Amino acid sequence: MQKELKFPFGNNYGWGYKYSHKTQHLCYIFFESCAIDVILQISSKDKDELNEAINRGLSLTKELWKDKYPCSNGGWINYRPKTEMDINEIMRLLAFKKKPVNIDKGR
């Protein structure tokens, strides 16, 4: 995974980290006083698979998806985690974007 310091959205967000794997963008993380924002672009060529992933999520995920910024076969959501469940949900959405590598594979 690569981490780059970026200023992608101007003064509205300021500086943050862009996380990617090879050429696949994963998310941006912006830091604030006592908070973080995680901005994810979620998409899939398989619309049913994407809808299923969103519908399996927390109610906050569904709400954010309703108000997403549309883009190609999906959209951008701005997740502001407040609980461990929110962090786990962000990790689940990232795993939807990029399937995790099984490090135990082959052992």
Note the pLDDT tens digit of each residue in 43-92.
988 999 999 999 999 999 999 999 999 988 899 999 999 999 999 999 99
Tell me whether residue 103 is in a domain. no
Computed over every residue of the chain, the mean pLDDT equals 90
Tell me whether residue 30 is in a domain. yes
So what's the pLDDT on residue 101? Answer: 72
So what's the pLDDT on residue 9? Answer: 83
List of residues 6+ apart from 56 with CB closer than 8 A:
none
Tell me whether residue 21 is in a domain. yes
So what's the pLDDT on residue 106? Answer: 47
Structure tokens at 95: 């795993």
Question: How much of the chain exceeds pLDDT 90, in percent?
Answer: 68
Q: Which residues of 73-101 are buried (b: 16+ CB within 10 A; e: fewer)?
A: ebbbbebebeeeebeebbeebbebbeeee
Q: How many domains does the chain have?
A: 1
- Whole-model pTM over 0.75: yes
- List the domain range (segments joined by +) for residue 56: 2-97
Tell me whether residue 61 is in a domain. yes
Tell me whether residue 104 is in a domain. no
Tell me whether residue 27 is in a domain. yes
Tell me whether residue 102 is in a domain. no
So what's the pLDDT on residue 32? Answer: 86
Tell me whether residue 107 is in a domain. no
